[in-house]
Amino acid sequence: MARIVGVLHVSHSPVCSMPAEHWTELRRSRHLRADVPVDSEADQIAKAGRIEAAFAALRARLAEMAPDVLVIFGDDHYECFTFAGFPALAVWVADELVGAAGLPRRPGDIGRHDAATARPVPGHGALGGAIVAGLLRRGFDPAFCTEVDDPAHGLGHAIMRPLLSLTDGSVPVVPILLNCYFRPQVTGRRAYEIGRAVGEAIEDDPTDLRVVVVGSGGLWHTPGADGAYIDEAFDTALLDALRDGKPARMAELFDAYGPDPSDVSQTGLPRGQRHTGMATLGGPQGGTREACNWIAATATVDGRGATVVDYVPVYASPVGLGFAYVSAEEGGEHGPQSTRQ
């Protein structure tokens, strides 16, 4: 039987690959709330070092887990899907994928489409198909994808940045995309339910695959919004629930969030290109909704507590960067396999 041998949680913000010397320039391009702290140059250099160390720690853990395949929960930023048809849940079932491999080094690189950086990466169509079948058996209706519409770009940074930051790109990957950005988005509760179902579908697979699940994105950030800031208390509460192995609690906290009426960073946008104009189902808006990818990933091993490697609030962006892992094998540091409810 296939086994989930670990779970990694990692932010994929452009600032993760951007040298600290460019962070001040990045801040000037944002529309931050007046009370967002200003890091000194020394603070920024120290934080950049912590980010690098956190990625190194996760790469080492992943090497110890020795996966045959990665299952990455991410989201699509209008890269593979458009409003001609935007699924709430999609699974890739291909043996070869293509994605944008460039990592932003300066603020001007963010969002830049460079076909020259597109590269192939191995997929795992068999496991992807097993996950689709397992989701259907459990009452979900996933879209399945065998190719990308634009091979010059392919999969977006929610999949490619963690893949190429944590591996050399040789480990096969099954991307699972949740609609985190475009209203009405997947709720925290639905992300939890999807994650549990994916975990069960992996465990039902008759192969002896070693699987590592990755939650990509977050934590708190509203990129490009007016009045952007970091709600560090919100991030802390999610991380506490993650440490306790309680993804359902993470989902509850996420869905219960209600913004202050004065928080313009949470204001909905009118219908237009990349904005549906539809109502939200609750919870924080913007990139913060990528926390649903973390909820889904840790729900695949529901009940297992995580080790938080670091949490780095980068005020220049602003974004709360999180890095964590769960060791899920028998006898691992977080105890025996949990019993599913």
* Active-site choice (12, 22, 153, 157): 153
31 is catalytic: no
157 is catalytic: no
Range 165-174 burial, b when 16+ CB lie within 10 A, else e: bbbeeebbbb
Q: How many CA atoms, within 13 angstroms, populate the side-chain half-sphere of residue 91?
A: 24
| Alpha carbons 198 and 211: distance in angstroms, whole number | 12
* Active-site choice (22, 157, 221, 334): 221
| Alpha carbons 113 and 100: distance in angstroms, whole number | 8
Give 162-165's long-range contacts (Cβ < 8 A, gap of 24+).
162/8, 162/10, 162/12, 162/72, 162/74, 162/214, 162/216, 163/70, 163/72, 163/99, 163/121, 164/101, 164/103, 165/10, 165/12, 165/16, 165/17, 165/55, 165/59, 165/103
Q: Cis link prior to 162 (omega < 30° from 0)?
A: no
Report, as residue numbers or ranges, the catalytic residues. Answer: 153, 221
